[in-house]
């Protein structure tokens, strides 16, 4: 099956490009994060929620709430086990959009990358096939990813493009993401307002 191989993934991450500039706001960008587009953000990332992970001095991530409506069975009709995957493929981002990535709830074996907690990611065709054949619905499948060059993410946060929250494994596998952005904007927006004003609010 002609899915992304690990070498192509490594090359893509080394060449990540995304709009952004500015001076860093005080944020710990050295750990996995939840990014939620602020209501004023326009363009292709409007109303998005992302899982973002550092990669050296760069960052990469996947959009969590862009279900495509296309199933793996439709993409790979010759691969019978793909029909077992219930959820659609998600649009992970504009980088390498024809490459398939699987985020799993456990270590799928090498080559793969540990994201955080129990989450792993792989783009290796053989490993993805094994996941589909053995535990098809214990993964989320993304087409493409989002990438930031050094200092770009810090600049975007400084310019107010994103609310920043704690990375949450459960959000990656949420079955219905249609209202995810609205819920997170409410939660993170209230938390940020409280931090600015000194008010008390339930932590996210």
The reply to whether 186 falls in a domain is no
The reply to whether 195 falls in a domain is no
The confidence score (pLDDT) of residue 12 equals: 42
The reply to whether 190 falls in a domain is no
The confidence score (pLDDT) of residue 68 equals: 96
pLDDT tens profile 18-71: 323 223 334 589 999 999 999 999 999 999 999 999 999 999 999 999 999 999
Pairing, β 119-122 against β 90-91: unpaired
Neighbours of 81 (CB within 10 A): 16
Task: Tally helices (H) and strands (E) across the chain.
Answer: 6, 9
Q: What is the span of the domain harbouring residue 119?
A: 6-176
The reply to whether 103 falls in a domain is yes
The confidence score (pLDDT) of residue 192 equals: 65
The confidence score (pLDDT) of residue 27 equals: 57
The overall longest dimension of the chain from CA atoms, in Å, is: 58
The reply to whether 13 falls in a domain is yes
The confidence score (pLDDT) of residue 202 equals: 34
The reply to whether 115 falls in a domain is yes
The confidence score (pLDDT) of residue 191 equals: 66
The reply to whether 193 falls in a domain is no
The reply to whether 118 falls in a domain is yes
Pairing, β 90-91 against β 139-148: parallel
Pick out the chain residues at pLDDT < 50.
1-26, 193, 196-197, 199-204
Domain count, the chain: 1
CATH classification of the domain holding 144? 3.40.1740.10
Contact assessment for residue 183 and residue 154, using Cβ atoms and an 8 Å cutoff:
no
């Amino acid at each position: 099956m002609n899915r992304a191989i690990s070498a192509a993934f490594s090359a893509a991450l080394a060449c990540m490009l995304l709009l952004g500039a500015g001076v860093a706001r005080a944020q710990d960008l050295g750990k996995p994060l939840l990014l939620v587009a602020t209501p004023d953000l326009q363009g292709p990332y409007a109303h998005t929620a992302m899982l973002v992970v550092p990669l050296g001095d760069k960052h990469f991530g996947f959009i969590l709430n862009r279900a495509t409506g296309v199933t793996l069975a439709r993409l790979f009709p010759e691969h019978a086990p793909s029909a077992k995957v219930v959820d659609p493929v998600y649009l992970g981002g504009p980088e390498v959009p024809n490459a398939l990535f699987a985020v799993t709830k456990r270590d799928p074996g090498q080559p793969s990358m540990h994201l955080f907690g129990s989450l792993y990611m792989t783009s290796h065709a053989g490993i993805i096939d094994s996941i589909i054949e053995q535990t098809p619905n214990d993964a989320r499948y993304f087409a493409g990813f989002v990438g930031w060059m050094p200092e770009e993410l810090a600049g975007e946060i400084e310019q107010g493009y994103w609310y920043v929250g704690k990375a949450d494994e459960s959000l990656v596998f949420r079955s219905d993401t249609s209202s995810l952005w609205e819920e997170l904007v409410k939660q993170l927006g209230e938390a940020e307002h409280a931090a600015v004003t000194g008010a008390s609010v339930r932590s996210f």
